Structure 1
Amino acid sequence: MVVLNIFGKIEPICISNKLKLYISNLPNGESNNWNKELVDEMRTAVKMNIIESEKLGMKPNINIREIYSRHFPQNPLSDDTTEDVYLQKIADNMICLYFDYSYQDMPLGDWDTNCFDGRLCEEDYAEKVIDFINFASSGKSTQIPSFVPQWVYSSNHDLQNCHRIFWGEQHAEIYIESLKKWGQIFDTFLKYKNDYLQLDYLMNSIHTDNDYNTYHYFKMYSLCQLFLEKSKESELDWKLPQFLDHNYPLEERNEIAKLLRQMRNKIAHGDFIGLENKIEEYAQKVMDGRYSFDYSEYSRKNWVLLNACCLLEDTVRNIIIMLFTDREKLKSIKDSTNIIL
């Protein structure tokens, strides 16, 4: 279960029937009282903010009364209202995302094998869902919802960000509609057991990996191979350009695609001197004249890896969008033996 950065009083809503994914206000039953849990977490966050601020010689910048007044101006509280009441009122209007299914609902076995279950030593899967939706929605495509929520609290995190838990928006209806549309996308995609397993693979591949280094680069390129490579990796030289940023002319995208493959191969074969040479070639062909390098922030090599990783992330995002919106077209591209222009 994760708490989202939206407020409002709602009845439980099924977001995805195939995943049995729901949103609702926080449960407060006797044996399932996440409402109380969140109040306790917010109370701890306020205390941690005071401690951290004192260490820095600053005033605490979390004011519960101001947060409540900003989000619920239509329901003001009296001046003598305690902070605990404010916290409870905020928690009552928070919205969470969670799975609610029997094992017969999903073709992935029981407690022993079902990857979507929440376990003590695994991150909450609802968190992975939201992170994946945010990744896929951060591009320029109009085929998928672009206005999606983030999570502010996850049930599987021992340490919480004392500021993040108070993020929040009042545009709950827009976020909820976007989640419903994403649910429809998932439900259309999930037809067979392999589709569930593929979705699990993608969500785990994307989740929490934001280090733009050679490993991240290698992984992003491997995802491109997963969807585009039929028999040999050189196919990506002419299959990848259509998914690259179209701000680059086609001829330049063709050159970039070859460079991306060559850099990937240098990493795979442990040829790090060769990788250095290809990184410099990428810098000269793709970045010089377009970017100002601040070497107090990154080395020249790491500026290139940052750029290449971001470029590949956008490319993977474009491929994933096609997977969800036109799977047959993506399959035909993978099966193609002709150069695609």
Structure 2
Amino acid sequence: MVVLDIYGKIERTTISEKLKLYIDNLPDDWKETIKEEIYEEIRKIEFNRKEQMIKYGKTYTDVFDFTIAKKIVETNIGNTKGYTLSTLENCIDYIIENMIFIEFDYDYSDMPFFDWTTNFFDGRFCEGDYSEKLVKLFNFMNPEKHGRAHFNVIYSSNNDYLSVLPRVTSLLSYRIRSGFKGFKTKEETIYDLKKCGECLDSFLQTEDDYYKLDFIVEAINKNDDYKHYHFLRVFTILEMLLLNKKQRTKEIDYYINPIIKRIYNEESEQATKLLRQMRNKVGHGDFIGFNKKAYDFANKYMKNFQFDYSEYSHLNWILLHTCCLLDDILKEVLIDKFNLDKYFEAVHS
């Protein structure tokens, strides 16, 4: 179960026809689960506030009470006609009634290449809900020029957020606490989701494309280590998307250099070459060679950087920078391959 930061009553809506991806209001069997999660978070918040008062003489955790819950309803949902909001419980019930989740729903006769035993998009006990991974892909490909909504997940059955922070209540109250006035409406956000689905459907033309999509989604879902594995993983996606089977790795320079040129101008060709050489070195287990190429890159393109070695070693600073650079390149390539410019060129203009 993956609940999005969108609220209101809706009809069941198709996001991706080829993936059988939909959004809808919560099914009855999940409403109680989400409600229990919210009340558990409220108990945790109250405990933390009491503990902080004892330790520090003041509280640092924001309260979640009737006043906040009512403001959440008024801000996130708006229409309360025919519904009484006189208690915290009333407000929470109304929020849950208006929550929207995203899911896969298969009739396997509709799936062109897969069945129950082979479909890797389906949710399984040991694999988690795949729809959250797709939301991460949508957000990764979110270019500022399209003014598209960022899709927040306020609840996911994939994770236990309670041990880290009260996730559901924090995200529910974010809009009223942040003071930001530019949040997309429900209609705009659903429109953007549907356009993202069209981008997916345009990409999925052959059976091989489904496997490529899965590879991309899984890689981006684990996109937070920023070390050698991240470097190799992202470069591998670039090779998969940009090179055919007969092309050599060095031919990728032709495709990614125009993107790098926006940053390094006339020195972009050497930067492109060094990134490719770093990929080859780590791919062949030549870490001494990788380090040399990494330092060559830093000496030329990071010479004005100030490094805090209490945070990262010198090599890890280089890896962090180059991995972020590769992420930016990958984002541009994905935008092109998924035709985002075509489907979002006139969004909210």
After TM superposition, the score normalised by the length of structure 2 is: 0.83
- Structure 2: any 5+ residue segments left out of the alignment? 176-182, 341-349
| Conserved 8 A contact 1:241-1:254 | yes
* Distance 1:260-1:286 versus aligned 2 partners, 3 A rule: same
Code of the aligned partner of 2:115: D
| Conserved 8 A contact 2:202-2:339 | no
Correspondence for 1:335: none
> Structure 1 residue 54: deviation in Å?
4.3
Structure 2 residue 34 is the aligned partner of structure 1 residue 38? yes
Question: Between the two proteins, what is the percent identity of the paired residues?
Answer: 37
Q: Deviations over 1:103-145 (max 9, x none)?
A: 11112322111111111111211111101111111x3454xx6
Correspondence for 1:306: 320
Alpha-carbon distance in structure 2 between the residues aligned to 1:72 and 1:159: 23
Secondary structure in 2 matching 1:152: strand
Secondary structure in 2 matching 1:184: helix
Code of the aligned partner of 2:68: I
Alpha-carbon distance in structure 2 between the residues aligned to 1:64 and 1:127: 29
Alpha-carbon distance in structure 2 between the residues aligned to 1:62 and 1:111: 45
Greater mean deviation of Cα atoms: 37-46 or 68-77: 68-77
Secondary structure in 1 matching 2:138: helix
Alpha-carbon distance in structure 1 between the residues aligned to 2:198 and 2:153: 20
Correspondence for 2:5: 5
Secondary structure in 1 matching 2:3: strand
| Conserved 8 A contact 1:212-1:309 | yes
Alpha-carbon distance in structure 2 between the residues aligned to 1:64 and 1:107: 49
> Structure 1 residue 162: deviation in Å?
4.2
Listed as ranges, the matches of 1:36-115 within 5 Å are 36-56=32-52, 57=55, 59=59, 60-73=61-74, 74=78, 75=80, 81=87, 83-115=88-120
Correspondence for 2:227: 213
Code of the aligned partner of 2:274: L
Alpha-carbon distance in structure 1 between the residues aligned to 2:119 and 2:113: 5
Correspondence for 1:164: 167
Q: Deviations over 1:8-36 (max 9, x none)?
A: 222211111111111111111xxxx1111
| Conserved 8 A contact 2:16-2:22 | yes
Secondary structure in 2 matching 1:240: helix
Correspondence for 1:184: 198
Correspondence for 1:258: 273
| Conserved 8 A contact 2:2-2:153 | yes
Alpha-carbon distance in structure 2 between the residues aligned to 1:116 and 1:7: 25
> Structure 1 residue 273: deviation in Å?
2.3
| Conserved 8 A contact 1:22-1:98 | yes
* Distance 1:270-1:242 versus aligned 2 partners, 3 A rule: same
Secondary structure in 2 matching 1:10: coil
Alpha-carbon distance in structure 1 between the residues aligned to 2:120 and 2:259: 30
Correspondence for 2:137: 132
* Distance 1:201-1:297 versus aligned 2 partners, 3 A rule: same
Secondary structure in 1 matching 2:101: strand
* Distance 1:187-1:44 versus aligned 2 partners, 3 A rule: same
Code of the aligned partner of 1:232: R
Alpha-carbon distance in structure 2 between the residues aligned to 1:247 and 1:215: 24
* Distance 1:215-1:147 versus aligned 2 partners, 3 A rule: same
> Structure 1 residue 274: deviation in Å?
2.3
Q: Give the superposed CA RMSD.
A: 2.5
Alpha-carbon distance in structure 1 between the residues aligned to 2:110 and 2:5: 28
Alpha-carbon distance in structure 2 between the residues aligned to 1:265 and 1:229: 15
Alpha-carbon distance in structure 2 between the residues aligned to 1:106 and 1:312: 34
| Conserved 8 A contact 1:39-1:87 | yes
Q: Deviations over 1:34-72 (max 9, x none)?
A: 111111111112222333444544534241424323332
User: 2:151 is matched with which residue: 149, 152, 155?
Assistant: 149
Alpha-carbon distance in structure 2 between the residues aligned to 1:213 and 1:66: 45
Secondary structure in 2 matching 1:242: helix
> Structure 1 residue 285: deviation in Å?
1.3
Secondary structure in 2 matching 1:248: helix
| Conserved 8 A contact 2:73-2:91 | no
> Structure 1 residue 296: deviation in Å?
2.6
Q: Deviations over 1:217-265 (max 9, x none)?
A: 111111111122342111123332123361321x322111111011112
> Structure 1 residue 286: deviation in Å?
1.3
| Conserved 8 A contact 1:68-1:86 | yes
Alpha-carbon distance in structure 1 between the residues aligned to 2:261 and 2:73: 42
Alpha-carbon distance in structure 2 between the residues aligned to 1:233 and 1:10: 48
